[in-house]
Amino acid sequence: MNLNIRPDIASLEESQIVEVWRMGFDIPDVIGMWVGQGDLPTPRFICDAASRALAAGDTFYTHKRGIPALRQALIDYHRDLYGVEIADSRIAITSSGMNAMVLIVQTLVSAGDNVVCVTPVWPNIFAAIQIQGGIARHVPMAGTDHGWELDLDRVFAACDDRTRAIYLASPGNPTGWVMPEEQRRAVLDFARQRGIALIADEVYNRLIYDRRVAPSFLEIAQPDDPLFVVNSFSKTWAMTGWRIGWMIMPQGLTDQVDRLIEFNTSGGQSFLQAGCIAAIREGEPWVEWMVERCKRGRDLVVARLNAMNRVSVIPANASYYLMLRVEEMGDPVAFCKRLVREARIGLAPGTAFGAGGEHYLRLCYAQGEERLGEAMDRLQAFLGKA
């Protein structure tokens, strides 16, 4: 086929997470801890709400920024979590959290621009920037015995006249890092002064183990600040396959984002959004139970990993991931493929997450304790032979 495809699109690389994950598709006994989802199906009360809306014929085109009832539910949700009042005009329901990131990048980035990304981080943002003809500049954190640490001066030094945004995730995927308050205030002040957008990925804001919700930029920002906040229904309510997220945008961008949604997806499915309303309105008991389950899983995995020779773990008090090192493992992708073939366990290579992840593996522990225990048994046996 002789097509003149854009070179930057032709050169897009497949995610290394997917590269390893695909190996296990046809291996039924693999315990997969490679992708960012747990083993729980969406709660029944959420599914029932969507089913009722579907049965009632709620199947027509609807508001591009989401049905008004869902936007109001999110206004109430943010008021409850953070004590802030978010205007309806700043909220857009999106076809996944990733779709929100794409819309934001389309709003901000032209060919030759750059976005400064705090890494290691979920890698799809890099591709979204590349597709727009932009450049992702990685500023790596350092893994320490006390957790991940960010040198904010390096973030500021990476910005220049073509920097359109700073992207960071807190709580982080894959790190579980939570940005300290003084750094949140400093980076927001820098963005204000330089006219640079701040893209805050807060998808894991409810997956934190010493409080109800992780700190948010929304608590310290003004409506007209250059702040975009991305969130998703996927993680908090076990709705990964629903592909619904939301963004909160700076005041004054409503019309532009509305048009971008029209030309990307034309809006989401209204009957699925009925399920999202149920998640917000009725889901707090389930969220509390799920977070406690994840905490038990984390504690089990950390205890087991700390007892293994050659293994060290970076502490994390949020998300449902851990980053671990294995001495003398060599190339992380090759090592993960060996784990699939020989130990029947699936982890993600740290190289997938950008600068700073090269010497690590990511493990998702959002599973039942029995299954996690079996995975740790397999890993320990593998390391004893490797």
Can you list the alpha helix ranges (DSSP code H) found in the chain?
7-10, 16-23, 44-55, 68-82, 97-108, 124-131, 152-157, 181-194, 254-264, 270-282, 284-306, 332-338, 369-385
User: Residues 265-274: pLDDT tens digits?
Assistant: 999 999 999 9
**CA–CA separation, 29 and 243 (whole Å):** 27
**Residue type for position 386:** A
For the chain, what percent of residues have pLDDT higher than 70? 99
Q: pLDDT at position 1, please?
A: 60
The structure tokens listed for 361 are: 């593996």
First to last CA, the chain: 45
Q: How confident is the model at residue 3 (pLDDT cuts 50, 70, 90)?
A: confident
User: Residues 173-182: pLDDT tens digits?
Assistant: 999 999 999 9
The structure tokens listed for 44 are: 């029944």
Q: Is the pLDDT of residue 286 over 80?
A: yes
Q: Are 151 and 116 in contact (CB under 8 A)?
A: no
Length of the chain: 386
Q: Domain locations in the chain?
A: 7-42+285-385, 44-282
**CA–CA separation, 219 and 199 (whole Å):** 15
Mean pLDDT, to the nearest integer, of 19-30? 88
Q: Exposure string (b/e) for 317-350, b if CB count within 10 Å is 16 or more? A: bbbbbbbbbbeebeebbebbbebbeebbbbbbbb
Q: pLDDT at position 8, please?
A: 82
Which CATH number describes the domain made up of 7-42+285-385? 3.90.1150.10
Q: pLDDT at position 207, please?
A: 98
Instruction: Considering only residues 9 and 32, tell me which one the structure prediction assigns the higher pLDDT.
Output: 32
Q: How confident is the model at residue 236 (pLDDT cuts 50, 70, 90)?
A: very high
User: Residues 49-104: pLDDT tens digits?
Assistant: 999 999 999 999 999 999 999 999 999 999 999 999 999 999 999 999 999 999 99
In this structure, how many other beta carbons lie within 10 angstroms of the beta carbon of residue 201? 25
What is the rounded average pLDDT for all residues in the chain?
96
Q: pLDDT at position 160, please?
A: 98
Which CATH number describes the domain made up of 44-282? 3.40.640.10
Q: pLDDT at position 27, please?
A: 87
Q: pLDDT at position 386, please?
A: 65
Q: Are 286 and 296 in contact (CB under 8 A)?
A: no
Mean pLDDT, to the nearest integer, of 94-115? 98
Q: Is the pLDDT of residue 256 over 90?
A: yes
User: Residues 124-170: pLDDT tens digits?
Assistant: 999 999 999 999 999 999 999 999 999 999 999 999 999 999 999 99
